[in-house]
C-alpha cells in the first residue's frame, strides 16, 4: 500500500516526536559516549614511508584517485540530463558519489590541496542547489526524481518502483554521496554543508516492509530492493555531529519500520544466505549504527551476527568475502568485487566503533594488506572488477573482469576503490572516551587533541612484514591520558617496552593493552608482535538453489533467495601475521602442487620495506614451504581436487611463497592438501 501525502504527514508528525526528552547537546554526548572509538578529523593521521608512496601513486594525475577530469565532469556538480532507466538511470550518481567520498578523504589524508579545492567546487554547487529547494532536494533536476523526493518516502521493498523508476537508486546514491559531505564537513566545519545534511535527513523517510511480508524472514532479494535504507548510515553520523532531534526521531522510526524480519532473524543467527554483496555490507551493519543512536543492545547483536555469518561462510583467504556480485560461499575460483573490498572495510569500521573489539580491526587490516592490494595494480593506475584467490595460466576465471584496466564497466569499482586507502589510513589512530588508541600499526605521523592538550607522535614500524613498531611522542608539553594499543588476535605473546624498559601488560578481552601516564617528547613505546607462519585448513562451500545446484547470480529482475550450502574441496593456505601468501604461477604445471600439512619447516625471510617500496617491488617477506607435486587434470573452471592427497616424500619440493598483495594475476593461494 502506498501512503498518500496525508499518510506521509501523519507519519511525519509521529516521526518528529523525539523518543526521549533530548536537548541537542545531550543527544550528541550520549551518542559520542556509545562510540568506543571515534575517528580523528581526516588529515590528523598522515602516512609515511611505503604507505605514503602508495598514497602518492593513488593521487598522481594518472592514479585512480587523482584524475581531475572525473571531478570536473561530475554529475553532482553539473547535473546532466539523465535517462531514468529504472534500475540503472541513477548509476552515474552512485558511482561519482563514491568518488566524491573517496577523493575528499584521500585529499585530506594526503594534504593534497589541489584535490581538496577541486572537490570543494562540487560541495559548493550542492549547497547552492539545496538552498534553493525548501525540502533539501539536491540530487538532480530531471528524471522525475524531484517529485519522488518531494513525496518524502522511500518505499522500502516495493519491487515495481525499484525497477520502473529506480527511486531506491536515488536514495542509495544520496547515501553514498552524503558520506563525502560528512567528511568535508568534519574536516572544514563548513556550516552550509551541515544545513544540506539537515534538510536531506529531515526529509528522508522509509516505511519499511510491506504488510504482506510481516513476520517472514528478510531475504537477500528484499534487502536488494530496500537499498535506500543505506541513508541511515550517514544520517546517524549527521545526528551525532549536529544533535538534530528531529532527524533523530525520524531515524529511530525508520529503524523500527525495518526491524521486522531483519532483527529477529539475525538475532536467531540466520541472516539471508544469498545477497548482493554491497547491499549486504551497506544494510546489515546499519543496526550496529542504530545501537550507537539508541543504545539498543539487540540492534548491535543483530549486526554482530550478520558479520560473524559472513566471516564464517563467505570470507576468502585474501580477507574479503566473495561477491560475484552476490555472496557465493568460499572457493578458490570465486570472485570478489572491488566495491566489496571498500565496503567490507567500511562496515567493519562501524562494528569496531560500536563494539570496541579489536577483532574488527584485524579483519580490516587483513582486507587491506591482501585483497585491497590486488583490487588495484601495483602502480595504482588500473584495477580489477573481480579478484580470485587462484588464477591458473590457461584456466583464468572471471574473464575480462579479472584483468587490470583503467576502468571497468559498470564504473562502480573504479570509483568505490578510492575510499580504501583513506579509510584505512584515516582510522590508524582513533579517539577513546579519555585518550587515544593505536588501531593500525602503520608508518605515520599523528596529531590530536586530548582533554584540551595537543598531542603528537609518530609510528616507526616494520609491520606487517616484521612484528616490531615504535611509537615516539613529539609534544613538548606533557599530556596525561590512557593510550590503548591494539594486539592482533593472531598474536598470543605480545611484548611491550616503555622508554626501553620491559612492561608487563596484557591485552584485555577486547584485544587492547593500555598504558596510562603523562606523555611528552621523547617518550617511546615499543611493541613486538612475534609472527609465526600458520597453515589454515578449510573446505570450500557453495550456495545451492532449490534443486541442489550451485546458484549463480540471476538477472536483477528475478528473485534471488536461495538457501543452503554444500561443501566442496578441502584446501589449505599459509598466512603470517595479517598477510596471506601465494605461489606465483608461470605455467599450468606450476599449479599441480599440494600444500603439505602439517608444515615442519617453513623458512621465513623477512626484512623492513624500504621507503618508497611498492607492492610490485621485491617482496620484503617470503616463505619457503613444502609442496607436493600432484597429478591434477586441471579443468575449466579449475576446481580444486575433491580429495586429500597422500603424502609422498619423494614428490615434495621446496617452493617460495610471496604475499598475496605482491602477486601478479597468476597465483595459487588455496592449495589442495597432501597429508
Which residues lie near Zn ion (CB under 5 A)? 337, 339, 412-413
Tell the smallest beta-carbon distance from residue 279 to Zn ion (Å). 12
Residues paired with residue 254 on neighbouring β-strands, in sequence order:
none
Tell the smallest beta-carbon distance from residue 565 to Zn ion (Å). 25
Backbone angles phi, psi at 51, to 5 degrees: -70, -35
Tell the smallest beta-carbon distance from residue 415 to Zn ion (Å). 8
Tell the smallest beta-carbon distance from residue 342 to Zn ion (Å). 9
Tell the smallest beta-carbon distance from residue 416 to Zn ion (Å). 6
Backbone angles phi, psi at 533, to 5 degrees: -65, 145
Which residue, 339 or 487, is less far from Zn ion as judged by CB? 339
Q: Which helix (H) or strand (E) holds 533?
A: strand 533-543
Tell the smallest beta-carbon distance from residue 339 to Zn ion (Å). 3
Alpha helix (H) residue ranges in 258-296:
263-267, 277-284, 286-294
Tell the smallest beta-carbon distance from residue 334 to Zn ion (Å). 16
Q: State the distance between the two ends of the chain, measured CA to CA, in whole angstroms.
A: 60
Is 175 within 8 Å of 228 (Cβ atoms)? yes
Which residue, 412 or 594, is less far from Zn ion as judged by CB? 412
Render 230-245 in DSSP notation, one character per residue.
GGHHHHHHHHHHH--H
Which residue, 339 or 585, is less far from Zn ion as judged by CB? 339
Which residue, 35 or 423, is less far from Zn ion as judged by CB? 423
Beta carbons within 8 Å of 406's beta carbon, 6+ residues apart: 381, 382, 383, 414
Alpha helix (H) residue ranges in 87-166:
91-110, 113-132, 145-151, 159-165
Which residue, 197 or 341, is less far from Zn ion as judged by CB? 341
Q: What is the DSSP letter of 400?
A: G
> To which residue does cell 576446481 refer?
639
How far is residue 545's CA from residue 487's CA, in Å, rounded to a whole number? 41
Tell the smallest beta-carbon distance from residue 280 to Zn ion (Å). 14
**Sign (positive/negative) of CA torsion 556, 559, 565, 569?**
negative
Instruction: Write out the three cell numbers for 670.
Output: 588455496
Instruction: Write out the three cell numbers for 583.
Output: 605461489
Beta carbons within 8 Å of 115's beta carbon, 6+ residues apart: 59, 65, 66, 68, 71, 103, 106, 107
Instruction: Write out the three cell numbers for 622.
Output: 617470503
Beta carbons within 8 Å of 583's beta carbon, 6+ residues apart: 590, 593, 627, 655, 656, 657, 667, 668, 669, 671
Which residue, 57 or 412, is less far from Zn ion as judged by CB? 412
Which residue, 214 or 409, is less far from Zn ion as judged by CB? 409
Calculate Rg over the CA atoms of the chain: 25
Residues paired with residue 438 on neighbouring β-strands, in sequence order:
429, 485
Tell the smallest beta-carbon distance from residue 151 to Zn ion (Å). 30
Which residue, 385 or 613, is less far from Zn ion as judged by CB? 385
Tell the smallest beta-carbon distance from residue 417 to Zn ion (Å). 8
Tell the smallest beta-carbon distance from residue 464 to Zn ion (Å). 26
Diameter of the chain measured on Cα atoms = 80
Which residue, 158 or 325, is less far from Zn ion as judged by CB? 325
Q: What is the DSSP letter of 72?
A: H
Beta carbons within 8 Å of 561's beta carbon, 6+ residues apart: 219, 220, 221, 272, 274
Order the strands of the 38-39 sheet from edge to edge: 38-39, 429-431, 436-438, 479-486, 512-519
Tell the smallest beta-carbon distance from residue 97 to Zn ion (Å). 13
Tell the smallest beta-carbon distance from residue 344 to Zn ion (Å). 12
Which residue, 376 or 413, is less far from Zn ion as judged by CB? 413
| Burial class of residue 501 in the structure, from the number of CB atoms within 10 Å of its CB (0-12 exposed, 13-18 middle, 19+ buried) | exposed
Which residue, 194 or 402, is less far from Zn ion as judged by CB? 402
Tell the smallest beta-carbon distance from residue 277 to Zn ion (Å). 9
How far is residue 481's CA from residue 553's CA, in Å, rounded to a whole number? 51
Which residue, 137 or 224, is less far from Zn ion as judged by CB? 224
Tell the smallest beta-carbon distance from residue 408 to Zn ion (Å). 8
Instruction: Write out the three cell numbers for 428.
Output: 590508524
Tell the smallest beta-carbon distance from residue 338 to Zn ion (Å). 6
How far is residue 146's CA from residue 133's CA, in Å, rounded to a whole number? 10
Which residue, 373 or 387, is less far from Zn ion as judged by CB? 387
Is 483 within 8 Å of 525 (Cβ atoms)? yes
How far is residue 323's CA from residue 386's CA, in Å, rounded to a whole number? 8
Which residue, 100 or 413, is less far from Zn ion as judged by CB? 413
Which residue, 237 or 343, is less far from Zn ion as judged by CB? 343
| Residue 557 CA, distance from chain mean position | 27
How far is residue 260's CA from residue 166's CA, in Å, rounded to a whole number? 24
SS3 566: strand
Instruction: Write out the three cell numbers for 436.
Output: 587515544
Which residue, 118 or 412, is less far from Zn ion as judged by CB? 412
What length is written for the chain? 675
How far is residue 566's CA from residue 568's CA, in Å, rounded to a whole number? 7
Amino acid at each position: 500500500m502506498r501512503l498518500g501525502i496525508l499518510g506521509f504527514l501523519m507519519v511525519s508528525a509521529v516521526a518528529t516526536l523525539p523518543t526521549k526528552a533530548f536537548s541537542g547537546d545531550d543527544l550528541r554526548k550520549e551518542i559520542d559516549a556509545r562510540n568506543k572509538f571515534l575517528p580523528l578529523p581526516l588529515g590528523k593521521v598522515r602516512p609515511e614511508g611505503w604507505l605514503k608512496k602508495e598514497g602518492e601513486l593513488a593521487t598522481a594525475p594518472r592514479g585512480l584517485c587523482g584524475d581531475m577530469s572525473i571531478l570536473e565532469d561530475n554529475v553532482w556538480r553539473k547535473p546532466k540530463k539523465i535517462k531514468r532507466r529504472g534500475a540503472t538511470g541513477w548509476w552515474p550518481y552512485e558511482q561519482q558519489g563514491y568518488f566524491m567520498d573517496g577523493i575528499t578523504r584521500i585529499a585530506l589524508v594526503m594534504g593534497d590541496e589541489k584535490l581538496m579545492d577541486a572537490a570543494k567546487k562540487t560541495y559548493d554547487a550542492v549547497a547552492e542547489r539545496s538552498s534553493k529547494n525548501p525540502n533539501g532536494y539536491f540530487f538532480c533536476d530531471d528524471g522525475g526524481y524531484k517529485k519522488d523526493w518531494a513525496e518524502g518516502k522511500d518505499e522500502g521493498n516495493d519491487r515495481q518502483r525499484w525497477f520502473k523508476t529506480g527511486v531506491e537508486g536515488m536514495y542509495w546514491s544520496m547515501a553514498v554521496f552524503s558520506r563525502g559531505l560528512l567528511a568535508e564537513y568534519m574536516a572544514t566545519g563548513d556550516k552550509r554543508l551541515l544545513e544540506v545534511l539537515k534538510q536531506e535527513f529531515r526529509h528522508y523517510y522509509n516505511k519499511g516492509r510491506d504488510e504482506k511480508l510481516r513476520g517472514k524472514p528478510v531475504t537477500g532479494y528484499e534487502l536488494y530492493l530496500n537499498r535506500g535504507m543505506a541513508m541511515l548510515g550517514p544520517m546517524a553520523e549527521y545526528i551525532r555531529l549536529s544533535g538534530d532531534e528531529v532527524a533523530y526521531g525520524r531515524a529511530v522510526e525508520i529503524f523500527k519500520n525495518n526491524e521486522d524480519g531483519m532483527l529477529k532473524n539475525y538475532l536467531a543467527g540466520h541472516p539471508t544466505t544469498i545477497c548482493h554483496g554491497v547491499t549486504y555490507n551497506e544494510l546489515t551493519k546499519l543496526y550496529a549504527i542504530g545501537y550507537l543512536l539508541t543504545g539498543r543492545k539487540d540492534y548491535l547483536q543483530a549486526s554482530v551476527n550478520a558479520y560473524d555469518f559472513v566471516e564464517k561462510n563467505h570470507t576468502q583467504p585474501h580477507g574479503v568475502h566473495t561477491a560475484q556480485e552476490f555472496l557465493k560461499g568460499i572457493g578458490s575460483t570465486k570472485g570478489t568485487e572491488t566495491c566489496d573490498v571498500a565496503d567490507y572495510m567500511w562496515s567493519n569500521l562501524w562494528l569496531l566503533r560500536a563494539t570496541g573489539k579489536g577483532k574488527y580491526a584485524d579483519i580490516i587490516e587483513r582486507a587491506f594488506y591482501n585483497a585491497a592490494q590486488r583490487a588495484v595494480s601495483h602502480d595504482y593506475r588500473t584495477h580489477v572488477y573481480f579478484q580470485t584467490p587462484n588464477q591458473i595460466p590457461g584456466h583464468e576465471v572471471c574473464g575480462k573482469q579479472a584483468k587490470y584496466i583503467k576502468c571497468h564497466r559498470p564504473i562502480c569499482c573504479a570509483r568505490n576503490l578510492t575510499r580504501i586507502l583513506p579509510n584505512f589510513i584515516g582510522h590508524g589512530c582513533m579517539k577513546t572516551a579519555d585518550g587515544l588508541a593505536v588501531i593500525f600499526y602503520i608508518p605515520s605521523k599523528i596529531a590530536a587533541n586530548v582533554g584540551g592538550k595537543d598531542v603528537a607522535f609518530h609510528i616507526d614500524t616494520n609491520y606487517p612484514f616484521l612484528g616490531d613498531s615504535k611509537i615516539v611522542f613529539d609534544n613538548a608539553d606533557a599530556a596525561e591520558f590512557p593510550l590503548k594499543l591494539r594486539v592482533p588476535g593472531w598474536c598470543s605473546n605480545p611484548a611491550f617496552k616503555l622508554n626501553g624498559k620491559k612492561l608487563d601488560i596484557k591485552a584485555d578481552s577486547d584485544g587492547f593493552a593500555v598504558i596510562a601516564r603523562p606523555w611528552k617528547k621523547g617518550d617511546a613505546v615499543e611493541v613486538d608482535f612475534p609472527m609465526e607462519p600458520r597453515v589454515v585448513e578449510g573446505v570450500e562451500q557453495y550456495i545451492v538453489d532449490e534443486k541442489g545446484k550451485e546458484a549463480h547470480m540471476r538477472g536483477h529482475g528475478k528473485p534471488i533467495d536461495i538457501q543452503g550450502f554444500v561443501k566442496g574441496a578441502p584446501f589449505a593456505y599459509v598466512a603470517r601475521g595479517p598477510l596471506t601468501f601465494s605461489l606465483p604461477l608461470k605455467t599450468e604445471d606450476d599449479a599441480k602442487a599440494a600444500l603439505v600439512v602439517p608444515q615442519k619447516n617453513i623458512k621465513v625471510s623477512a626484512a623492513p620495506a624500504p621507503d618508497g617500496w611498492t607492492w610490485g617491488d621485491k617482496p620484503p617477506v617470503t616463505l619457503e614451504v613444502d609442496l607436493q607435486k600432484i597429478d591434477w587434470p586441471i579443468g575449466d573452471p579449475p576446481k580444486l581436487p575433491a580429495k586429500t592427497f597422500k603424502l609422498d616424500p619423494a614428490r615434495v619440493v621446496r617452493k617460495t611463497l610471496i604475499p598475496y598483495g605482491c602477486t601478479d594475476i597468476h597465483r595459487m593461494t588455496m592449495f589442495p592438501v597432501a597429508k
